[in-house]
């Protein structure tokens, strides 16, 4: 009986230890999830062209949902202010404040901010500076949210947003819920496209090749692996290593040169230069593009869980090892 009693006491201690380990594990996951969900913030401001729209509630709900995707995807501890408004032509457009800084300063900050394996690969192909590897210019244009993402604290003038996004909602499906008009464009995809440009995507082209580049131009390659920075031809790809082509760049002067090729048969993507009616693309390679120019991507939930599970297993093994002694 005494032996059984002592065994029960020892077993209770063991269960308590295990319980504490599991509690710590779940607390860690919760804390990590909360951090990832709250550190990166986009604050939308809706001007009167949207708030006075009879569909304002639906439009704002879709924009807010889109913002939620970004806040769950990136972890940079910054706040980005964006004004949204309606427009009467085109599909979507954005304007963003940027600064021209030394490329060496940007490269230093980007290197210090390295988090992902894609960051490591991209940095390994950027060289040591001080001039950029695209056109040997000593400067680079970087949008202000992108600067803050790599730790260079610059903000627009007091009262100004980081960027302004215009949306031609009259030709869009305003929500992905319910029946969709196949002749209209997806509001969520257009909002994502323009947010990407406010955050930092975009090319200096069609400016002359000697002019100051933007960060995305650092990852512009021809199919033979050589850097390319020209509006000529139709052979330009987004790649972080010059070998693996992740997306084809648009070379049509009717669209942005920092967008993806979409003038022929293709699978629609968020950053396509020309939208596809009826399509509902979600973020894909665009996340990689934002990652390598300086944004930090939240690890997949499975990664956090596997890490935590490893800690739990290690803790139990240590406990059992002590008992064996």
> Nearest-5° angle of CA 186, CA 163, CA 97?
140
Gap between the Cα atoms of 63 and 49, Å rounded: 15
Mean pLDDT for the stretch of residues 155-167 = 96
User: pLDDT value at position 210?
Assistant: 82
User: Are 162 and 306 contained in the same domain?
Assistant: no
User: Are 180 and 79 contained in the same domain?
Assistant: yes
Instruction: Note down the domain range covering 8.
Output: 1-39+299-325
Provide the CA 64 distance to its chain's centre, in angstroms: 16
Q: How many domains are there within the chain?
A: 2
Mean pLDDT for the stretch of residues 215-226 = 97
User: Are 246 and 322 contained in the same domain?
Assistant: no
User: Are 13 and 99 contained in the same domain?
Assistant: no
User: Are 192 and 218 contained in the same domain?
Assistant: yes
Closest CA to 15 of 323, 269, 258, 324: 323
pLDDT at 72 over 60: yes
Extended beta strands in 168-239, E state:
172-173, 185-186, 220-221, 237-238
Q: Out of 4-8, 278-282, 302-306, which region has the weakest mean confidence (pLDDT)?
A: 4-8
Mean pLDDT for the stretch of residues 284-291 = 99
Q: Look-up: residue for tokens 């996951």?
A: 29
User: Are 185 and 309 contained in the same domain?
Assistant: no
Query: How many other C-beta atoms are found inside a 10 Å radius of the C-beta of residue 104?
Result: 16
User: Are 34 and 139 contained in the same domain?
Assistant: no
Gap between the Cα atoms of 140 and 212, Å rounded: 5
Provide the CA 93 distance to its chain's centre, in angstroms: 18
Task: Give SS3 for 270.
Answer: coil
pLDDT at 7 over 70: no
């Amino acid at each position: 009986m005494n032996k059984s009693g002592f065994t029960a006491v020892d077993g209770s201690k063991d269960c308590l230890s295990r319980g504490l380990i599991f509690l710590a594990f779940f607390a860690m996951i919760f804390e990590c999830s909360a951090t990832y969900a709250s550190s990166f913030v986009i604050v939308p401001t809706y001007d009167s062209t949207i708030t006075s729209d009879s569909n304002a509630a639906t439009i704002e709900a879709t924009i807010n949902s889109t913002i939620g995707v970004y806040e769950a995807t990136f972890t940079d501890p910054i706040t980005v202010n964006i004004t949204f408004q309606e427009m009467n032509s085109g599909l979507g457009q954005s304007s963003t404040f940027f600064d021209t800084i030394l490329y060496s300063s940007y490269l230093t900050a980007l290197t210090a901010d390295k988090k992902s394996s894609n960051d490591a690969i991209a940095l390994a192909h950027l060289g040591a500076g001080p001039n950029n590897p695209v056109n040997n210019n000593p400067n680079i244009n970087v949008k202000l949210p992108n600067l803050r993402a790599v730790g260079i604290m610059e903000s627009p003038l007091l009262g100004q947003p980081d960027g302004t996004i215009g949306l031609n909602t009259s030709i869009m499906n305003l929500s992905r819920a319910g029946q969709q008009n196949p002749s209209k464009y997806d509001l969520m995809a257009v909002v994502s496209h323009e947010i990407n440009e406010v955050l930092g995507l975009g090319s200096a082209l069609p400016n002359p090749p000697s002019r100051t580049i933007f960060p995305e131009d650092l990852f512009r390659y021809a199919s033979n692996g050589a850097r390319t920075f020209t509006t000529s031809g139709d052979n330009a790809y987004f790649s972080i290593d010059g070998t693996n082509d992740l997306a084809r760049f648009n070379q049509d002067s009717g669209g942005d040169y920092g967008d993806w090729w979409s003038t022929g048969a293709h699978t629609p993507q968020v950053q396509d230069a020309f939208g596809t009616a009826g399509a509902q693309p979600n973020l894909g390679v665009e996340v990689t593009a934002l990652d390598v120019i300086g944004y930090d991507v939240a690890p997949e939930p499975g990664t956090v869980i596997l890490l935590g599970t490893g800690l739990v297993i290690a803790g139990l093994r240590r406990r059992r090892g002590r008992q064996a002694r």
